[in-house]
Amino acid sequence: MDKEVRKKEILDAYHFRHATKAFDPARKISDDDFAFILETGRLSPSSVGSEPWKFLVVQNEQLRGKLREVTWGAQGQLPTASHFVIILARKNVRYDSPYLREQMLEVKQMPEEVFNQVLRRYREFQERDLNILENERALFDWASKQTYIALGNMMTAAAEIGIDSCPIEGFQLDNVEKLLKEEGLLDDSEFGVSVMAAFGYRTDKELRSKQRRTTEQVVQWIN
């Protein structure tokens, strides 16, 4: 495919995407299409390859109803979205955690001698470079940053195949986590809620023009 054509298609998808407030409840995303969206999240990059995320795909209507009571930012999306995702972030992705060791040795298949060599660099990165070992919240916030990369990729991938989405931060964190714990869906010693996203098809077919700051306002070149 011609590169210029592909670039236009990608930008068209960005213009197509908008924060959909309510979806057509009669239209459902196919299993194949949503598997594709999830796969773009799974394959997303993360700092030091930590992959500190988990995706809860909430299709149960009763649970959605309970979530709606404590998620003010999804009042229109929870009852109508074809698919609703809660993205969890790992709480303990310290350089010396069992999880990171497993991630590097077993998932990334890094030789143990290499892992032992980079462990000091990971510690300096977290302890001195980013100062994220000062408290548990700082470490969790760093992990949450990574989940937003996956979120962005999932929404963009959805837009490229004509599927709408909406990122959601408007929720009562403590109450959402309490609910998920009660439902047996959250081990809060391992994970916390980072962000949510709804996917489906808009009811308004008209494309809305993007209102954004100009390139000159947001880009500075240093030559």
In 3-state terms the chain splits into helix, strand, coil percentages (rounded to 5) of 50, 15, 40
State the Cα–Cα distance between residues 141 and 123, nearest whole angstrom: 17
Whole-number pLDDT of residue 185: 98
Q: How many other C-beta atoms are found inside a 10 Å radius of the C-beta of residue 120?
A: 10
Phi-psi region of 54 (alpha: psi -120 to 50; beta: other; left: phi over 0): beta
56 Cβ neighbours under 8 A, 6+ residues apart: 85, 86, 87, 88, 180, 185
The tens-digit pLDDT sequence of the chain (223 residues) is: 799 999 999 999 999 999 999 999 999 999 999 999 999 999 999 999 999 999 999 999 999 999 999 999 999 999 999 999 999 999 999 999 999 999 999 999 999 999 999 999 999 999 999 999 999 999 999 999 999 999 999 999 999 999 999 999 999 999 999 999 999 999 999 999 999 999 999 987 656 678 899 999 999 999 9
Backbone angles phi, psi at 154, to 5 degrees: -65, -40
State the Cα–Cα distance between residues 212 and 203, nearest whole angstrom: 23
C-alpha radius of gyration, the chain, whole number: 19
H or E segment to which residue 165 belongs = strand 164-168
State the Cα–Cα distance between residues 8 and 12, nearest whole angstrom: 6
Can you give the length of the chain in residues?
223
Q: What is the pTM of this model?
A: 0.95
User: Are residues 64 and 84 in contact, defined by beta-carbon separation less than 8 angstroms?
Assistant: yes
Longest dimension (CA), the chain: 57
Q: What letter does residue 62 receive in the DSSP assignment?
A: H
129 Cβ neighbours under 8 A, 6+ residues apart: none
Whole-number pLDDT of residue 222: 97
Q: How many other C-beta atoms are found inside a 10 Å radius of the C-beta of residue 48?
A: 18
135 Cβ neighbours under 8 A, 6+ residues apart: none
H or E segment to which residue 105 belongs = none
